[in-house]
Chain A
């Protein structure tokens, strides 16, 4: 029997609160694509992607029409390419990246992740060639995203790889200086990188995964923000609404949002005959007005994002989202937490411009959410070692707390703090964030070697 109140609540969520499925990401294993040489390997990579993903985008569009819910992004994540391209030179890795780009274009996906390596304990000769190829590979491609896991709770931090990261990020930005250093926005450095994350730039198809799987990223923060606003509006008298009730509203809204993602994911999975993987519960903002995680801070009671209380709010938001989503989905995975990518969230970017949100506060906030220091534009003059040291701090948070953390930092060539950079589209815009204590960490970065795994990693 129809219940008009329930129906209207769902209709409101979909149409007024912009519910969507943020991404359907097809994970694809490419380990069987290594051929005798680079030409054979590229041909196999292209064939496999086209074979598995040829109908992927049309199927997502069909399901989107059937259910009346937009699927915003259709993406592919592949096996970390440093494994697929074992023994290749840096030039050959660039060719692999170009092949991935061409295949992504051929099947019509928005973006492809997995130009990646996992070097948290040590690097092979191939890994070093892969790292050396990143700036040219991302400058030569449009849809390819790169990521590298340099730390884990089990193994500690690979400080040799870390030292290379600052230089890599700088080179990436400089090779794409005409686009404001945009190349660096397609590269992310991880600690405890999951193998089933559907979000970019850090999506990979882990070696522990099946041949092909579909992972889902659920809708953005706008739905949560509107639900909270409605609840606050319905309780105008002081003292009639407390924080635990707001947490409960977030939880229940997330349940409904996650269910829609699960429904679409299962339908696409069934139609393509590809295993359904996980729903990633992360709240991923976009630069669109009303689709901001930053907005939720203000709704929940801080007048400036970054003001004292901001970390506590984020902790509650992240936790409530997980509680609602875990019950709604058969299998939850990926990153599953609120993102705070500064450039991609108009209100976070504004807070940087107003000076209320600084790097140190963002770092503190990443202790209680996923994923880390994300999409932060910094002055192009900041040296490579300082960038490596910023990444080191973020990696340490992940290692010690047993969680995923990441850093995606963009040193904008030729620009200084306070100036604007705009990448357009989902990558957004932001004032450049001032960085304190530049040039004071080089002796630390120069040590190299490894930062040992923490004591609580020895659980055997």
Chain B
């Protein structure tokens, strides 16, 4: 099995969506390696990593999903990546950046632009709004970062000060160590 695809699905949320989608994949003989889904404002979005037999095409998958009987339409997008999926463990240079500050427009854009400027890849991101405090946690891959860690911390400090934000960069292992039983 070496025809690996990334499948993205969006729909109005209702019970049974995951069962329907994974059922269609199962019927095509797909091996589901990973799935991530979230619901925001009543809409579900899901991204799946699936490996199929070589003869299964992208169009077969689209057809299988479109044949699902559902009151609301699925918006499906598929990318064929070819060979097996990359290993799931985050690289050694994975860091968690937390950003907190009063809610205002442009916080996410600002910090993501900062990351882009330094060729830092954002691999995960969650945001929360609580009592007008906007909180962001970003998982970053610093492998391609164009400056040293020390300099990055200094630039983040300057960025935080300029934007009245609290910005903290910590290694991913710290969070694993404090919240998981086994220590890698």
Q: What separation, in Å, do the CA atoms of A431 and B149 have in the docked complex? A: 45
Other-chain contact of A67, B98, B124, B138, B170 (Cβ < 8 Å): B170
Cβ < 8 Å to A, chain B residues 143-173: 149-150, 153, 168-171, 173
The listed residue with most A CB atoms (<10 A of its CB), out of B36, B171, B175, B177, is B177
Which listed residue (B124, B135, B138, B149) contacts A66, Cβ 8 A? Answer: B149
Instruction: From known contacts A66-B149, A256-B178, A259-B183, infer whether A7 and B96 are also in contact, taking CB-CB under 8 Å.
Output: yes
User: Are the CB atoms of B171 and A260 closer together than 8 Å?
Assistant: no
Determine whether the beta carbon of B174 is less than 8 Å from that of A260. Answer: yes
Whether A260 contacts B98 by the Cβ 8 Å rule is no
A-contact bits for B80-103, CB 8 A (1 contact / 0 none): 000000000000000010100000
Contact with B along A50-83 (1 / 0, CB 8 A): 0000000000000001111100000000000000
Contact A259 B177 (CB under 8 A): yes
B168 contact set on A, CB distance < 8 A: 11, 14-15, 68
| Residues from chain B with Cβ under 8 Å of A255 in the complex | 178
Q: Give B47 Cβ to nearest chain A Cβ, in Å.
A: 12
Which residues of B have CB within 8 Å of A4?
126-128, 135, 137
Whole-angstrom CA separation of A105 from B177 in the bound complex: 33
Given contacts A1-B36, A2-B96, A2-B139, contact A10 B124 (CB under 8 A): no
User: Once the chains bind, are A7 and B177 in contact (CB under 8 Å)?
Assistant: no
Task: Determine whether A263 belongs to the interface, using a CB cutoff of 8 Å to chain B.
Answer: yes
- The number of chain A residues with a CB under 8 A from chain B is 26
Q: Which residues of A contact B64 (CB under 8 A)?
A: none
Report if B125 contacts A (CB, 8 A).
yes
Q: Indicate if the CB atoms of A67 and B125 lie closer than 8 Å.
A: no
Bound-state CA distance A262–B183 (Å) is 9
- Residue interface bits A291-334, CB-to-B below 8 A is 1, else 0: 00000000000000000000000000000000000000010000
Q: Write out the residue numbers on chain A whose beta carbons fall within 8 Å of the beta carbon of B170.
A: 10-11, 14, 67-68
**What distance in Å separates the Cβ of A267 from its nearest Cβ neighbour in chain B?**
8
Look across to chain B and name the residue whose beta carbon is closest to the beta carbon of A15: B168
The answer to whether A263 touches B124, judged by C-beta atoms less than 8 angstroms apart, is: no
A305 to chain B minimum Cβ distance, whole angstroms, is: 30
A2 to chain B, nearest CB (A): 5
0/1 string, A141-154, CB within 8 A of B gives 1:
00000000000000
**Most chain B CB within a 10 A radius of its CB, from A9, A69, A259, A330:** A259
Inter-chain CA distance A65–B142, complex, in Å, is 14
In the bound complex, do residue A10 and residue B135 qualify as a contact, i.e. CB atoms below 8 Å apart?
Answer: no
Quick check: A7 and B137 within 8 Å, CB to CB?
A: yes
Contact B175 A10 (CB under 8 A): yes
Q: Does A8 contact B (CB under 8 A)?
A: yes
Distance in Å: Cβ of A5 to nearest Cβ of chain B:
8
Bound CA–CA A352/B91 (angstroms): 52
Which single residue of chain B is at the shortest CB-CB distance from A262? B183
Measured CA separation A69–B128 after assembly (Å)? 25
CA A66 – CA B93 in complex, angstroms? Answer: 9
Q: Tell me, rounded to whole Å, the shortest Cβ–Cβ distance linking B38 to chain A.
A: 9
A residues apposed to B, CB below 8 Å: 1-4, 6-11, 13-15, 65-69, 255-256, 259-260, 262-263, 266, 330
Which residues from chain B sit less than 8 Å from chain A, CB to CB?
36, 96, 98, 124-128, 135, 137-139, 149-150, 153, 168-171, 173-175, 177-179, 183
The 26 sampled A-B contact pairs (Cβ below 8 Å) are A2-B96, A2-B125, A2-B126, A2-B138, A4-B135, A6-B175, A6-B179, A7-B137, A7-B175, A8-B98, A9-B178, A10-B170, A11-B98, A11-B170, A15-B168, A65-B149, A65-B150, A66-B149, A67-B170, A67-B174, A68-B170, A256-B178, A256-B179, A259-B178, A259-B183, A266-B183
